[in-house]
């Protein structure tokens, strides 16, 4: 396991280890206003022994929300709330990026401003997915997404600027950089996918056009934070062995070509890292070997992988030269001192699935340390 504890670089930063806290939705923001709070600052600071940290998905505007109680980064109060988080992480020597998120069509009218329809590349309702809505103060339930409305060309271009503004807000909040959430069937992924993008303007049709929204966002955000302080997350899926988990239905007819072309966009932009989220359900297929190799050949920056990774799998992928840093999601939820436990070969706490989303400190900041 010692290879996971060799320092590595990420843009201008030197990471103390290769173990990453990846983006993990926990739905603990304060209401009203989806404001980061002291409890969230404690949660992230507890996990600052990670070599690198990325926040939970953080909506860039009110229409970008698809789940109750997730934090935003578009209001002054939200920026002040995130300052508590970044200060707490930096006090413990951590490095933390904000994940900029817009869910697009994966939403419900109860989560939208004035109960409007969600926005998307095309007016096609998301299937094979649920959203999480508030049914009463502090109580929620799963619901089906509602049909979205198609964005106008002008609105698409306005969204590019919203991403840039969210990046400015992230810097004001003290983040070390930003990650663009372009995975899991959310807005940027919806533009990339042939299934959810049926547009006839310059943002639809050919693969080059479907990648235009991604290209413009990467350029706009890079102008704000610098390419050396930004990353992008994709979740390429080549097949599914579980009919209930088809990654929101976005399995492209040629996923290899789609994602290698998307990665070429990132390589040309010179961003610091690419994060690839692999399918993480039981019996999920691994990414094809030729795809791993093509990713490394195409992208010269830092490569991060996540998705039911064990320490041994991370060691093996690192040794094979496919990846550089590795996200451990559920293990980091239940083990705030995960790097220490991995290095010492200690038993891991199990995750309590009933406290994953919403609530207070239970199942959030009360998991015990190995030395407690």
Q: Is 186 a known active-site residue?
A: yes
Looking at the DSSP assignment, which residues form a beta bridge with residue 142? Answer: 132
Distances in Å between the alpha carbon of 314 and those of 205, 317, 320, 321? Answer: 38, 5, 10, 11
Residue with tokens 């663009």: 180
C-alpha–C-alpha distance, residues 149 and 158, integer Å: 16
Rounded CA-CA distance 156/158 in Å is: 5
d(CA 362, CA 119): 34
CA torsion sign for 192, 299, 272, 251 is: positive
Residue of 210, 199, 211, 196 lying closest to 126 (CA atoms): 196
- What span, in angstroms and rounded, lies between the C-alpha atoms of 167 and 183? 18
CA gap 283, 293 in Å, rounded: 22
- Which phi and psi (to 5°) does residue 129 adopt? -155, 155
Per the residue annotation, which of 67, 186, 259, 367 is the catalytic one? 186
- DSSP state for residue 146 in the 8-state scheme: P
Q: Which helix (H) or strand (E) holds 264?
A: helix 255-269
| 229 DSSP 8-state letter | G
Greatest C-alpha distance within the chain: 59
Catalytic residues: 186
């Amino acid at each position: 396991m010692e290879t996971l504890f060799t320092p590595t670089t990420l843009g201008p930063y030197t990471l103390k280890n290769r173990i990453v806290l990846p983006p993990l939705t926990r739905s603990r923001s304060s209401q009203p206003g989806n404001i980061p709070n002291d409890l969230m600052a404690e949660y992230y600071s507890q996990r600052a022994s990670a070599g690198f940290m990325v926040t939970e998905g953080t909506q860039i505007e009110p229409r970008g929300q698809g789940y109750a109680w997730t934090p935003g980064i578009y209001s002054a109060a939200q920026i002040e709330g995130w300052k508590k988080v970044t200060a707490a992480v930096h006090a413990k020597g951590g490095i933390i990026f904000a994940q900029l998120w817009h869910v697009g069509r994966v939403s419900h009218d109860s989560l939208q401003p004035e109960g409007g329809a969600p926005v998307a590349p095309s007016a096609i309702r998301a299937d094979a997915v649920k959203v999480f809505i508030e049914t009463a103060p502090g109580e929620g339930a799963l619901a089906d997404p509602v049909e979205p409305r198609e964005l106008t060309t002008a609105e698409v271009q306005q969204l590019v600027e919203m991403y840039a503004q969210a990046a400015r807000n992230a810097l004001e909040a003290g983040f070390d950089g930003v990650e663009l959430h372009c995975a899991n069937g959310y807005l940027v992924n919806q533009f990339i996918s042939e299934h959810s993008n049926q547009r006839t303007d310059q943002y639809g049709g050919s693969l080059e056009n479907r990648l235009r929204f991604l290209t413009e966002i990467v350029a706009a955000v890079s102008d704000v934070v610098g390419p050396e302080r930004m990353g992008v997350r994709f979740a390429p899926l080549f097949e599914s062995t579980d009919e209930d988990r088809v990654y929101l239905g976005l399995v492209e007819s040629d996923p290899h070509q789609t994602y290698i072309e998307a990665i070429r966009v990132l390589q040309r932009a010179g961003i610091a890292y690419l994060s690839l989220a692999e399918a993480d359900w039981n019996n999920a297929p691994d990414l094809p070997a030729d795809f791993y190799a093509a990713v490394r050949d195409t992208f010269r920056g830092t490569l991060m992988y996540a998705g039911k990774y064990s320490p041994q799998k991370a060691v093996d992928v690192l040794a094979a030269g496919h990846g550089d840093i590795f996200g451990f999601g559920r293990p980091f939820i239940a083990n705030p001192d995960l790097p220490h436990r991995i290095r010492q070969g200690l038993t891991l706490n199990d995750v309590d699935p009933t406290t994953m989303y919403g609530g207070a400190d239970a199942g959030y900041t009360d998991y015990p340390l190995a030395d407690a």
